[in-house]
Copies of this chain bind each other. A is one copy, B any other.
Amino acid sequence: MSDKIVAHIEANQKKYVDRLAEAVGIPSVSGDASYRHHVFEMADWLANEFTKVGAQVTKRPLGKQEIQGETIDLPPALLGQIGNDPAKKTILVYGHFDVQPALKSDGWDSEPFKLVHDEATGRLYGRGSTDDKGPILGWLHVLEAHKELGLDLPVNLKFVFEGMEESGSEGLEELVVSEKNGFLAGVDAVCISDNYWLGTTKPCITHGLRGCAYFYLTVSGPARDLHSGVFGGVVHEPMTDLISIMSRLVTPEGKILIPGINEQVAPLTDAEREVYNVMDFSLEDINSATGSKTTISDDKVSMLMSRMRYPSLSLHGIEGAFAEPGAKTVIPAKVTGKFSIRMVPDMDGQKVIDAVKAYVEDEFKKLGSRNTIEFKHDSPGLPWVADPNVSAQAYQHWNYEAAFRATEKVYGVRPDLTREGGSIPITLTFADTLNCNVLLLPMGRSDDGAHSTNEKIDLSNYIKGTQLLGTYLYEVASA
């Protein structure tokens, strides 16, 4: 990318911050029906902004959704395109403009939907600042810089921005599949900026994601909630049964106790181990991100492998039991325990589901309870790796090479090649459906607090990240 564009981006920082404030100011929470109109508002705002910088933008309806007992419209996906030169490569960019819920009372230091620029630390606080409005605006500003400088893009750019990523990306997979030979025809590679550096100082490029399978165990017995004075000791209590089963899923050290899960994990090679060894990551990074000293291991490689290449099981909560503050002595009649398993290669969705179901039902039988258990699961999000046989220095696809070179140019350092512990199911859909290379090129840092309170993006990441996205397009063009 020319120094002129780099300088232009540098010079427009204030405008970019103001625009991020506008975007953060629209509380586009996808998981709450009462906020849905804001997700539509956000789609309109983005469509307008991208149109102004020269993109052809279509708002694509995705149908309807059942949420909180209501049937409401899904927010549209934005399909955009700029450039159509057969001599150029075509890059597809993905992002999402919906956000996680946030209330000041959750523990935020400021209003979550009002961007706060802390000049002392250079941080921009606000829901969506890093996940994923900042990165989307990065692409916008790359286009704007070209328009304002009167320059053509070095590639043809297409984008798909969705408004349901935080709520299961409803409708998106169908759209991608249906547009395979339509809008998405001719895509040479995909670039997604919706994850984070491994630490807080060194950029990375991400070539893998864990998948996620979500489970619901419902134990029921009595027809109604019971008085624990009258019935305590007399009946099998659903909570006692459920807690017993939930305690058999995973140890406090994170070991999954369900037979047939760990057996599916791809064996570790020496080459792969070396990848973790060289990564820029420290115990301090993770302690700073969690605000605690609660890692299971203090060993760097062990921590990285737990996050990137081994499955994990988290217990999220119980529906139907007493969850409010204070004391209540009722015996709940029906309780649903919820947990998820992060999946890695070579785990198979159906095999995982079968193993969990068999184990849970067996263990429940052992309880000898007269209550009943019901097992449910969501459709599992599978793990994704662009190439499982990577080593630190040897990922050779031109898409990755372009990202490496761009990062070196902008940050002066060769990025780590990482895998992410989280899940972005659409990544796998892009890879499989479009049959092309996909990479994740993060803008923010590990301590940005996506999904948490006081979400932020550092101004330097926001600005250099924008330069990175632009530079990446030039490196793709020359690859």
Is the C-beta of A239 less than 8 angstroms from some C-beta in chain B? yes
Is the C-beta of A367 less than 8 angstroms from some C-beta in chain B? yes
Is the C-beta of A185 less than 8 angstroms from some C-beta in chain B? no
Is the C-beta of A35 less than 8 angstroms from some C-beta in chain B? no
Smallest CB–CB gap between A167 and chain B, Å?
9
Among A49-65, those with CB < 8 Å from B are none
| Pair B451/A290 contact, Cβ less than 8 Å | no
Q: Which of B196, B307, B446 contacts A233 (CB 8 A)?
A: B307
Q: Which residues of A contact B (CB under 8 A)?
A: 31, 68, 107, 168, 196, 210, 212, 214, 221-237, 239-241, 243-244, 246-248, 250-254, 286, 289-296, 303, 306-307, 310-319, 321-332, 338, 340, 342, 367-371, 378, 420-423, 446, 449-454
Assembly CA distance A290 to B378 (angstroms): 31
Query: Which chain B residue lies CB-closest to A450?
Result: B227
| Pair A421/B229 contact, Cβ less than 8 Å | yes
Copies in the complex: 2
Contacts of A378 in B (CB 8 A): 327
Query: Which chain B residue lies CB-closest to A423?
Result: B229
Query: Which chain B residue lies CB-closest to A336?
Result: B325
| Pair B342/A232 contact, Cβ less than 8 Å | yes
Assembly CA distance A420 to B332 (angstroms): 20
Query: Which chain B residue lies CB-closest to A341?
Result: B232
| Pair A232/B313 contact, Cβ less than 8 Å | yes
Contacts of A449 in B (CB 8 A): 224
Contacts of A325 in B (CB 8 A): 68, 319
Q: Which of B306, B311, B318, B421 contacts A317 (CB 8 A)?
A: B318
Query: Which chain B residue lies CB-closest to A337?
Result: B243
Contacts of A324 in B (CB 8 A): 319
